[in-house]
Amino acid sequence: MQEKYGKDLRIVFKHNPLGFHKNAMAAANAAECANEQGKFWPMHDELFANNKKLGEADLQSYADKIGLNTKVFAACAKDKKYQFQIERDQKTAVSLGARGTPAFFVNGRYLSGARPVDDFSKLIDEELKKAKASGIPRADYYKKAIVAKGKKSLK
């Protein structure tokens, strides 16, 4: 997607670990701990490829596999360093009506569930067309055309 839309597409990733999954919070925290070392996406890929194995030892193994400084990672994971931020993300998700995962918002428009790339392209193309037709500078569009018109900010 980023290749097609370039600087017109800003991706913000938020966590919404679901309560029924006992290891989801630890996995979300692990992703953020990996992000400290520039390895969010490699950790993300390991977590999703091994979603039935997300215990503490598993997470540590994935950290080693993707080349993290495992001592730094272990301290971050043990301290649950990002739990507050993740809980804040969860509250934001609930306030916006996203009670499951995955959930996506494009300029305030909700797209729920695992969807084909074409669904995202169609929605993004529609929103880009509206943004370009508005005459609002790109840097101001989200704040002026989305948030100011009653959509909730995802920040």
How confident is the model over 54-68, as a mean pLDDT? 98
pLDDT confidence tier of residue 5, bands split at 50, 70 and 90:
low
End-to-end CA separation in angstroms for the chain: 21
Half-sphere exposure of 118 (CA within 13 A, CB side): 0
* Residue 110, beta-bridge partner list: 105
For the entire predicted model, the pTM comes to 0.72
* Residue 112, SS3 per DSSP: strand
pLDDT confidence tier of residue 153, bands split at 50, 70 and 90:
very low
Name which of 107, 97, 112, 82 is nearest 15 in CA terms: 82
- Residue 47, C-beta contacts closer than 8 angstroms, at least 6 positions apart: 27, 30, 31, 54, 62
- Give the model confidence (pLDDT) of 95-116 as tens digits: 878 888 888 888 878 888 888 8
pLDDT at residue 152 in the model = 53
- With pLDDT > 70 as the criterion, what percentage of the chain qualifies? 88
How confident is the model over 34-46, as a mean pLDDT? 95
Q: In the chain, what are the domain boundaries?
A: 24-95, 102-149
How confident is the model over 132-144, as a mean pLDDT? 88
